[in-house]
Amino acid sequence: MIKNYFKISWRNMLRNKAFSAINIVGLALGVAACILILQYVAFELSYDNFHKNAPNIYRVRQDRYNEGKLSTQWAAGAYAVGNSFKDAFPEVQDYVKLLGRNNSLLDYGDRSIKIGRFYVASPSLFTMFSFPLVAGDPKTALKETNTMVVSESVAKRLFGNENPIGKTVKANKRKPFKITGIYKDMPANSHLKSEIFVSYATFKADVKPDDPDQAWQWDGCLTYIQLRPGTNPKALEAKFPPLIDKLAGAEHKKYRSAAIYLLQPLRDIHLYSHLMMEAEANGDGKTVYLLLGIAFFIVVIAWVNYVNLATARAINRAKEVGVRKAVGSLRSQLIGQFMTESVLLNAFAVVLALILVALALPKFNEISGQQLSFGLLKSKMFWLPLVGLFVVGAFFSGMYPAFVLSGFKPVLVLKGKVMATRQGIVLRKSLVVFQFAASLFLLVGTLAVFQQIRFMRSQSLGLNIEQTLVVNPPIVADDSTYMRQLSAFRDELLRKSNIKGVTASSVVPGTASDWNAGGIRLKGTDESQGKQYRVIGTDYDFLKTYDLKLIAGRNFSKDFGTDPKAVIFNKMAIQQLGFPNPADAIGKEIDFWGDVFTIVGVTDNFHQQSLRDAYEPLIIRLIPDLRGYFSIKLSGGQASAAVASIREEWNRFFPGNPFEYEYLDQHFNDQYKADQRFGQVFGIFTGLAILVACLGLFGLASFTTAQRTKEIGIRKVLGSSVFAIVEMLYREFVVLVAISFVVATPLAWYAVSQWLDTYAFRTDIQWWLFLVPFVAVLLIALITVSFQSIKAALTNPVTSLRSE
């Protein structure tokens, strides 16, 4: 019987090629889109799951309060946290401290390599986290001073085929380190990524006589703790404040900027943490689940197509059902037959979907920024969703048509008295409304994303980042010669006609300053008045090079011998200090960690970071001998020639340092890369949703038109024009799209409002954001049904009236 089911199903597919093709292509597009999104979502959700102890590992994050109000939220906190919590609470099994560092040169023999991001790490790193060591002892690799563990990639680059264990490398041309371990390169789904790890004992030795393990006012240490199984993290959190009051109460009471420590589950960090001093730019849980919703919409739209077309064809298959029942077929057998057709169609669709995924995967990786591959074929995380989609799709898309078709009464059917039921017509129309409401919702969302990105990129930043080249800081072994090299390098560049300015700063626009200074107050005021500010270290030419607007006071100047003790505030920082009028702050002295500085200028607020973030209270502090990033302002249009000449001078003054640069406008706009990727992915799958919906609409229009063939013939005989008939056929679909618009608009407005509220600077929701998608979807729908409608309207009425 099953063999017969498949044979008949195959014959029906061949007999109704257009119907079969529309269903298979629509289902394949839906399944392919769903597979791609599911793989993206699975990857995002897999972050840090590979750690054996992941369920019990938490990061200790810090919230800072000014006068009882939340001011900043940090991924990093005080250096004393990890060891203090371990000593005080038996629930804490172990801890790891990580200090982020950037840019280091490693030399071994005649080989020299540049290391980008790396960490100083305490000894338990390789026992608490599952970063496998391929050489070395995980318990002791980071125990001693001046020791280092390197990744396999770094070991290969630096040592070639030699065994690195026990070898000595020189860091930054001055400090020797012994290699005590090699670890496998970190997987892409780790929120911690480092090319090397330097022992925490080295850092402790460098800062003696200070003891960082007792420092509650040194911020910037990422602390991870491993709790014993069964520990309630919330109950443990409640024990933190009394301990901090006991160990650091006197220090903390000096300021109103109290610190609160909270626990973050390790596996939540990538999707749900966007704090200051994150290890890397994290993902977005809302985006991931929104994409999951899009996947659901697309595949449901494809299933709806099948249901719509199958039930629309019910009348055409009524006699078949009647004959089968008359010769003894049971309803269960008929249901089996129609379910088999659904299974067969879904099977072909899944095969086609896999081919589409294979073709689309490289482009999808390029857009999404991930590296998914068909290596996933070996993973149950690939096959479980695929099998699930097939089973659910075959069952749900086939069940309703099977019950409708098998329920026809043979007597009425064979007498030709079967008519489309009102319930069936309402269902089909409701499903079409759902399809286009979903498409409109997605299209509005796509436009909103790109509108917000365009808004952010078009706004004035308050500073000039055009034609600016940023060069990474050089590494110079001898501090005493650095200033002479820097001065000579700057002078040589400024002699060139294609260079307008050069400045050095601790960070450049587009990067958040990690220098957070708490307790800053007006000189002579109580210590409790201290507040937090972000600090940027610069040389004399920072404001001039970036065209920052002074609204009060003056710029730094070598003409004033006191300027190394001078600071410039931005407008928000001055307001936080208590001066509504910026001019009133000029000449005032502030207490900055025990030193006294004078406010000599106030700039207008400017965007140090993207427009997703609000203005922050900033202090620009003059540091003439700063080892920072070079910002080089170019003039004219021959950038390549300017870069070549800068490279030449760089190699002359800073030999052995790689010349690494980027254009600042590109660096700044990289902050919007995640939003742009989201918009592109959103847009692609929105287009697929509309395409799948239109495939179904095309099929439905074909059958609707076929059912009204005689009516159209009669109307033409009675004098109706082609235009009037086409208008009649259009009217039904226009009404359905209009209803979809009414349903989708409030939902889309609410969703877009919620999304835009995550931006400090956001565009307004404008009327065209809804009208344009409606007009676009309406035109697409009308074009889709036009072929069948116009063809029917142009058909000779004699032929129409003769049709059976």
- CA–CA separation, 338 vs 343, rounded Å? 9
What integer pLDDT is reported at residue 256 of this predicted model?
A: 47
What integer pLDDT is reported at residue 515 of this predicted model?
A: 85
What integer pLDDT is reported at residue 397 of this predicted model?
A: 64
What integer pLDDT is reported at residue 475 of this predicted model?
A: 79
What integer pLDDT is reported at residue 229 of this predicted model?
A: 94
What integer pLDDT is reported at residue 742 of this predicted model?
A: 92
Question: What are the residue ranges spanned by the domains of the chain?
Answer: 1-46+282-419, 54-272, 442-455+668-804, 468-667
> Which phi-psi region, left, alpha or beta, contains residue 626 (left: φ > 0; alpha: ψ -120 to 50)?
beta
What integer pLDDT is reported at residue 354 of this predicted model?
A: 84
3-state secondary structure of 366: helix
Residue 271 main-chain phi, psi, to 5 deg: -95, -20
The rounded Cα 469 to chain-centroid distance in angstroms is 27
What integer pLDDT is reported at residue 674 of this predicted model?
A: 78
- Written as one letter, the residue type at 149 is V
What integer pLDDT is reported at residue 49 of this predicted model?
A: 92
Among candidate residues 148, 146, 114, 203, the one with its CA nearest the CA of residue 474: 114
Helices (H), 475-601: 479-494, 542-545, 571-577
Residue 460 per-residue DSSP state? -
Instruction: Please state, as a whole number, how many other Cβ atoms lie within 10 Å of the Cβ of residue 69.
Output: 9
Among candidate residues 274, 255, 98, 106, the one with its CA nearest the CA of residue 192: 98
- CA–CA separation, 68 vs 71, rounded Å? 9
Low-confidence ranges of the chain (pLDDT < 70): 1-16, 250-257, 309-338, 372-382, 385-386, 389, 393-394, 396-425, 427-428, 477-479, 699-712, 716-719, 721-722, 729, 787-789, 791-804
- β-bridge pairing 196-199 and 111-121: parallel
Sequence-distant (6+) residues with CB within 8 A of 574 are: 582, 585, 599, 602
Token readout for 789 is: 């409608």
